[in-house]
Structures are given as structure tokens and as C-alpha cells.
Structure 1
Amino acid sequence: MKFRMIAVPVLALGVLAAGCNDNEEVEGDEDTQAEQSQQSASSQTAKLPNKVFHSDKENQNLTESDMKKSIKTYLDTDEKINRVINPYLDKLDEEEDHDKKEEKAFKKAEDLLDENDENFENYIENNQVPEGYQKYSNKISEYISSAHEYEEDVLDMYEKYSDGETPSKADLDKLHEKDDIVNGREQEKIEKFLDEKGIETINFQK
């Protein structure tokens, strides 16, 4: 999941930029443009996964193998769902209308993201995570779910202030509540952990 900013009318003056300035992409950069084109192509052919992360395990001592597979499944599922969501957000950026089919697909994708997040959070809370995985299993869960919450908050503000009204300080403050959780530095820490543990995922791809 590469954290993205959503261009919201009125808010585009820069009030949102600090929300993830460590991950902000530079417009006009050739590498960035090529990357965006590749991501766009992937999104156009993306389909929602048939299932999200799920485990019936409870009050068990998880093995390192369990954790590696679980983290990979959770992150891969998150990325697959986001590739379906991206075209919807692209149209929102461009202030294009969505048809009912797109709205329905977006709602289903959002529900799957929530289910994926909740299932993984319950999994690591209700079982004994092996040594060396406690800190980062929680960090991964918090980072991904917080990024989703941030995106939902931005979409709510888009609807609330799309008529040009100036956003309230309370709403702007709410957007920045997760700045310490979702940023480029924290993502780099997670990526380093994944590399050290040999966990390969399609998430966080450059």
C-alpha cells in the first residue's frame, strides 16, 4: 500500500500535505510518472480477492512460520484490494462522476479492507506472537488500518466541503492525528523488518 494523497477541492492549498509529507511524490519526476503509469495499468486489470485474511486460531502459541505466512497474506490482500480502489480515487482526484456500479464496487472493497484489518488485529491480539514479531506485527496492523482511516476521513471531508466551504480546524486536526503513525519513516521501518524476516509481499512496492 503506497500511501497516497487525495486532491480535495479547497484543501488542495496544502493543508493536507503534512499528512504524509515523507511519502509525497514530486510532480514531473520521470521515474514517478513511469511508476504511476505502471500502477494505473495494474489497477485497471485488478480484481477483488475472493477472501481476506482469516484465522480461527485463538489462545495459541504462534510459530515464526505462522507469522510470516499471516503477515504476507494480510499485506498482499490489502494491496490487491487497494488496486481495485485506486481507479475510483483517481476519478475523484479528477473530479469525475462515478456510476452506481463503481460506487457499489468501492463500497465492497472498503468493507473487505475493514474485514482484513479487523481479522489480522484480532489474530495478533488473541494469540501469543513469537519473539521478534510482537512489535512489528502490531506496527504493521496499526500502520495499515490507520492509513485506511485517514483515507476515509479525507473522503468524508471531500463530501463535506466539496461546495467550497472552508474546512473547520477540528476537521483538519482530525486528519493529522495519525501523522506519527502513517509516514515515510514508519513505512521504511516496516519494510526493513519484512526484509530482515524474508517476508516477500506485493505491498509497499516501489
Structure 2
Amino acid sequence: MKKSILFIALLFLFISYGCSKEDEREEEVDNKPPSNLSGPKKIFENNVKHKVISKQDAKKDIKLYLDSSAELSEISEYYQDKSYDEKLSENDDKNLKKIKKRLQENDRNFQLYIENNEFPTKYKDNLYKIHKYIYKSNQFDIESFVDDIEEGKISRDKFDKLYKDTKEVNGKEQKKIEDFLKEENIKTKAFKK
């Protein structure tokens, strides 16, 4: 019973979200591209293994990972928004694929970095939390979910995945990450406050 009530509530939420996004798209007359459509020059690439990472190095690495993820996500969102109004050109489509690939590489490289090294106290758990949140938010595609609901083709598996993802990508988890970044004085484009 609880799941069916939750499903109906989430369904209503997503339909409302979809309608509001449609209104936003209609109001957006000028979808300005990010300043650099090719993305950041550097993404996170650290092949260090079995090392003890200093706090200072961990901070720099967190910043690089989050900043490059934020820049790549901004570009990806720009192209996705643009695709609602018009068919993407061959160059735009090619660039979007390149950006998505770099976003995945950034996530994969950071995950391997966390798994293969030792970090100062309280860093390891927070690094996993940051990675999980960013990775899931990069995979999170609410608009596709709303489109499927509107077309009447939503599967139970897709709903269950979205439900699980919302437990990991939410305001509560974001606040924990923001608190850690603030406490450690790590300023990043991903979590502006």
C-alpha cells in the first residue's frame, strides 16, 4: 500500500515537474551557451596507486574532480536544452557525445583514485559520498523519466531505479557534502553557496 501511494505521489511530482520544465523552456528565449563548449582542459586523471594521499593533495584532487564535473555537466545540459528546441547539428551531437564520455572518464578516474589509495581521517568516507552523489546525479535523467510517464511507457524497474537514486541524490546528501567542503575550505564550482 505504501509503495502504491508513494508511486502515485512521485508520478504526480514528475508530471508537475515536466509541465513546469515545459513552461521554463517556453520562457527561455535566449539559451546562452557556456563560455567554453569544448569543456575543461583537464579532467580528473590520477593514476597513483597504493599511496598515502596528503590532505593538501586530496583537497586539490576533490576540487579538480568537482570543477571539471560541473563544467562538463553545464555543457551537457546546454546541448540537452538546445535539443528540445531544434535538432542538434552533427558537430553539436559529436561534441555532446565527447562531453558525456569525458564526464564518465572523470567519474571513473576519481573512483579508482579513491579505491586505490589511503586518505586522511574522515576523507575516505567523504570522498566516496562525493563520488556517489556526483556519479548518480550525472546518470540521473528526470526529463527522460517524465517523458516516459507522459507517453505511458514507464516500467517498474525504471521506477525502482529512480526511487533508489533519489535516496542517494537529494538535499540531505548534498548538505553533508557541502558541510564537508566548507569545513575543509574546498571551494568548487559544483557546490556554490
TM-score by length of structure 2 reads 0.78
- Structure 2 unaligned blocks of 5 or more: 1-9
C-alpha separation in 2, matches of 1:172 and 1:124: 30
User: 1:85, CA displacement in angstroms?
Assistant: 1.1
| Residue of structure 2 in register with 1:205 after alignment | 192
| Residue of structure 2 in register with 1:56 after alignment | 47
Change over 3 Å in CA distance of 1:171–1:73 after alignment to 2: same
Which of these residues, 190, 201, 204, is aligned with residue 177 of structure 2? 190
| Residue of structure 2 in register with 1:144 after alignment | 134
Change over 3 Å in CA distance of 1:17–1:58 after alignment to 2: farther
| Matched residue SS, 2:167 | coil
Change over 3 Å in CA distance of 1:156–1:97 after alignment to 2: farther
C-alpha separation in 2, matches of 1:66 and 1:138: 16
How many residues matched? 177
**RMSD (Å), alpha carbons:** 3.2
Q: Deviations over 1:42-84 (max 9, x none)?
A: x432331123101121101111011100000000110111121
| Residue of structure 2 in register with 1:15 after alignment | 14
Which AA in structure 1 matches 2:40? P
Bigger radius of gyration, 1 or 2?
2
Change over 3 Å in CA distance of 1:14–1:156 after alignment to 2: closer
Q: 8 Å contact 1:46–1:83 — kept in the other structure? A: no
Q: Determine if the alignment matches structure 1 residue 116 to structure 2 residue 106.
A: yes
Which AA in structure 2 matches 1:185? K
Q: Moved runs in structure 1, 4+ residues, more than 6 A?
A: none
Which of these residues, 104, 114, 117, is aligned with residue 94 of structure 2? 104
Which of these residues, 155, 169, 182, is aligned with residue 168 of structure 1? 155
Deviates more, 1:183-192 or 1:96-105: 96-105
Bigger proportion of residues as helix: 2
Higher relative contact order (CA 8 A, sep 6+): 1
| Residue of structure 2 in register with 1:125 after alignment | 115
| Residue of structure 1 in register with 2:125 after alignment | 135
Q: 8 Å contact 2:49–2:117 — kept in the other structure? A: yes
Identical counterparts, % of pairs: 31
Which of these residues, 61, 66, 79, is aligned with residue 88 of structure 1? 79
TM-score by length of structure 1 reads 0.73
- Structure 1 unaligned blocks of 5 or more: 1-10, 19-23
C-alpha separation in 2, matches of 1:77 and 1:104: 19
